[in-house]
């Protein structure tokens, strides 16, 4: 009986197979693959468009079997800081098309969906956290109004010490709760990049 392979590509050596090389096969076609699957990290460039990840049985260093896959080759590292601000940063047509290519790969590989699911879990946690912060703010506002003998006071009209305390509580909020993420939005942005001819972030 010949060797068999699991759905993860691990070798299952048959009785009597690989005499004299059993240990090498075990190391290279099982232990090395386990190492990649549990702790492996690899970067895959998608600058040229669609990329097919490798999943060959019994072969270590297949990029598709690594625990963490970082897709690269789209936006220059020096440009990253400009993408989180509305400062008029310009993206040329070639870069916009590369962004489309990379997003297409991430969507089709299931990476974007997984990110959406993980992000939504954290966003819902942030929402619950913010609900607690809102209740704390409401309670504090009522205590300030009671102390001052006034009602319907805006925090900006609090005495400085109370305003500082209000700010301290308010700053506990997690803003990730206010920014949902969806695969559909990524698809729309990818198509925009594809046909935009370049664009400006402002």
Q: Which run of H or E residues covers position 105? A: helix 93-108
Give the chain's count of helices (H) and strands (E): 6, 6
- Higher pLDDT pick, 144 / 36: 144
**pLDDT tens-digit series, residues 84-126:** 778 888 888 988 888 888 888 889 888 899 999 999 999 999 9
pLDDT at residue number 136: 97
**pLDDT tens-digit series, residues 4-54:** 666 556 655 656 665 656 566 555 566 666 666 666 777 777 666 667 777
**Rounded distance between C-alpha atoms, residue 134 and residue 75, angstroms:** 38
pLDDT band, residue 77 (cuts 50/70/90): low
* pLDDT exceeds 70 at position 75: no
pLDDT at residue number 194: 93
Contacts of 174 (CB under 8 A, 6+ apart): 126, 129, 130
């Amino acid at each position: 009986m010949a060797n068999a392979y699991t759905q993860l590509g691990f070798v299952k050596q048959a009785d009597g197979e690989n005499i004299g090389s059993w240990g090498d096969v075990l190391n290279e076609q099982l232990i090395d693959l386990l190492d990649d699957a549990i702790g492996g990290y690899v970067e895959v460039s998608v600058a040229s468009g669609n990329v097919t990840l490798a999943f060959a049985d019994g072969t270590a260093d297949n990029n598709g079997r690594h625990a963490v896959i970082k897709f690269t080759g789209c936006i220059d590292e020096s440009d990253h800081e400009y993408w989180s601000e509305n400062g008029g940063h310009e993206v040329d047509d070639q870069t916009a098309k590369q962004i489309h290519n990379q997003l297409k790969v991430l969507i089709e590989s299931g990476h974007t969906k997984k990110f959406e699911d993980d992000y939504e879990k954290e966003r819902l946690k942030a929402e619950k956290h913010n609900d607690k912060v809102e209740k704390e703010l409401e309670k504090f506002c009522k205590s300030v109004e009671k102390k001052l003998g006034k009602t319907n006071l805006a925090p900006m009209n609090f005495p400085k010490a109370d305003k500082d305390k209000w700010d301290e509580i308010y700053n506990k909020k997690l803003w990730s709760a206010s920014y949902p993420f969806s695969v559909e939005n990524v698809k729309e942005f990818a198509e925009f990049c594809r046909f935009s001819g370049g664009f400006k972030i402002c």
